[in-house]
Amino acid sequence: MASRVLRIGLIPGDGIGREVIPAGRRLLEALPSSLGIKFEFTDLKAGFETFKETGVALPARTVDVLKNECDGALFGAVSSPTKAVDGYSSPIVALRKKLDLYANVRPVKSVASAARPIDLVIVRENTEDLYVKWEKTLDDPEIGVYAEAIKRISVRASMRIGEMAGIIAQRRQKLRESGVPSIHNSACVTVTHKSNVLSQTDGLFLESVRESLSRARYIHDKVALKDQIVDSMAYKLFREPEQYDVIVAPNLYGDILSDAAAALVGSLGLVPSANVGDQFTIGEPCHGSAPDIAGQGIANPIATLRSAALMLEFMNEGEAAAKIHAAVDANLVEAKLMTPDLGGQATTEEVLNDILKRL
């Protein structure tokens, strides 16, 4: 039987993205041929360094190739300046909008040997909230200079992210019912919000997600629904992370909670993410460009390897994804080769080679 060919765009970006994305490519190339998948790769540009070189952070060619020639992509990292730079805006935010990647999906899971079992997924709305970046600075005679930002929440975007959370919860429940070990007995989606203060915007998000999830429960009646105010959520997430299965959040809260949740499993270098739409998926590690260690060969590749697996899951290649997860988990359980972010002294190359052997 002929192998399925998957065309993957590779966008290293800035900093350690240039070290970990090649590791992701080598992992995909090393998958067993028995899976019936072959890969073709296209190198693409985006990021702050690209902006400094060309004046454009996201070249039109990158978008065109992803739209017309690729089945999925891996994105490394972006070095975003802390102060406004004229003409620059985040290329990953732009990609999410141009490719309609409306969901950011971040699993946070401990390995089987961990003292504290954690197995949750944060599903973050990816296209609006304060990240529409409608900001302006004004000057008022009474209060002086001030800045404003618009927070946009729509029914359409909230319904879509609610439905995605429901689908992920259903998928996780079906895996449990098939015998895959889990710390949870049943599926639950928790909606996080601040509707007690932001009654119109967060209130609309909560109402819309509830409606979409009621439809999800109609499809699969084993998805429970809860909601929790975001500050209380942050507190409980660190005290009782084992209580959470799937968390769905607006863009800003989801961004903060998902980065913070990485601390529960030891490092941002372990946590994958995927930017998901109905037609396309970009795997993206969560660690950022890490300029303090860029070029030293000690970046943890695991977040990228897991992001490659997550990309494959949303491309309906679950068996290939499972093999990657198993190889990574075996490396972490043995805990002999760890990069400095995990307290070890191993290099990127050493960790990657160990995981490749376990495939």
Mean pLDDT of 263-269: 86
More confident call, 185 vs 345: 345
Mean pLDDT of 170-186: 84
Buried b (16+ CB within 10 A) or exposed e, 51-68: beeeebbbbeebbebbee
Does any domain span residue 172? yes
* Closest by Cα among 95, 248, 96 to 169: 248
Does any domain span residue 271? no
Q: Is the pLDDT of residue 116 over 90?
A: no
Give residue 218's pLDDT. 58
Q: Are residues 258 and 308 in the same domain?
A: no
pLDDT tens, position by position, 57-72:
999 999 999 999 999 9
Q: Are residues 236 and 349 in the same domain?
A: no
**pLDDT band at residue 126 under the 50/70/90 scheme:** very high
**pLDDT band at residue 263 under the 50/70/90 scheme:** confident
Q: Are residues 158 and 246 in the same domain?
A: yes
Q: Are residues 356 and 309 in the same domain?
A: yes
- Structural domains counted in the chain: 2
Task: Report how far residue 16's alpha carbon sits from residue 39's, in angstroms, rounded to the nearest whole number.
Answer: 23
Does any domain span residue 18? yes
Mean pLDDT of the chain: 92
Q: Are residues 123 and 204 in the same domain?
A: yes
Does any domain span residue 128? yes
Give residue 216's pLDDT. 65
* Closest by Cα among 323, 333, 318 to 359: 323
pLDDT tens, position by position, 189-230:
999 999 999 999 999 999 999 999 887 665 656 788 999 999
Does any domain span residue 69? yes
Q: Are residues 311 and 187 in the same domain?
A: no
Of 16-25, 136-145, 306-315, give the lowest mean pLDDT range: 136-145
**pLDDT band at residue 160 under the 50/70/90 scheme:** very high
Q: Is the pLDDT of residue 349 over 80?
A: yes
The phi, psi pair for 256, rounded to 5°, reads: -65, -50
Reported for 80-88, long-range contacts at CB under 8 A and 24+ positions apart, including other chains, are 80/48, 81/48, 85/51, 87/51, 87/55, 88/48, 88/51, 88/57
Specify the DSSP class assigned to residue 129: B
Does any domain span residue 297? yes
Q: Is the pLDDT of residue 1 over 60?
A: no
CA quadruple 350, 352, 355, 356: dihedral positive or negative? negative
The phi, psi pair for 286, rounded to 5°, reads: -95, 0
Give residue 139's pLDDT. 92
Give residue 219's pLDDT. 60
Mean pLDDT of 287-304: 93
Give residue 222's pLDDT. 73
Q: Are residues 58 and 141 in the same domain?
A: no
Q: Are residues 210 and 353 in the same domain?
A: no
* Closest by Cα among 147, 100, 107, 144 to 126: 100
Q: Are residues 192 and 300 in the same domain?
A: no
Q: What is the CATH number of the domain that holds 225?
A: 3.40.718.10
DSSP string, 287-338: S---TTTTTSS----HHHHHHHHHHHHHTT-HHHHHHHHHHHHHHHHH-SS-
Mean pLDDT of 115-130: 91
- Alpha helices per DSSP H over the chain: 17-30, 48-54, 60-69, 91-98, 155-177, 201-219, 230-239, 251-261, 302-314, 318-334, 348-358
pLDDT tens, position by position, 317-332:
999 999 999 999 999 9
Cα–Cα separations (whole angstroms), residue 236 to 83, 197, 230, 286, 332 = 33, 20, 10, 22, 26
Residue 78, SS3 per DSSP:
coil
Q: What is the 3-state secondary structure (H, E, C) of 238-251?
A: HHCHHHCCEEEECH
Domain boundary among 240, 266, 292: 266
Specify the DSSP class assigned to residue 3: P
Q: Are residues 218 and 115 in the same domain?
A: yes
Does any domain span residue 355? yes
Q: By residue range, what is the domain housing residue 67? A: 1-101+277-359
Q: Are residues 189 and 126 in the same domain?
A: yes
Does any domain span residue 272? no
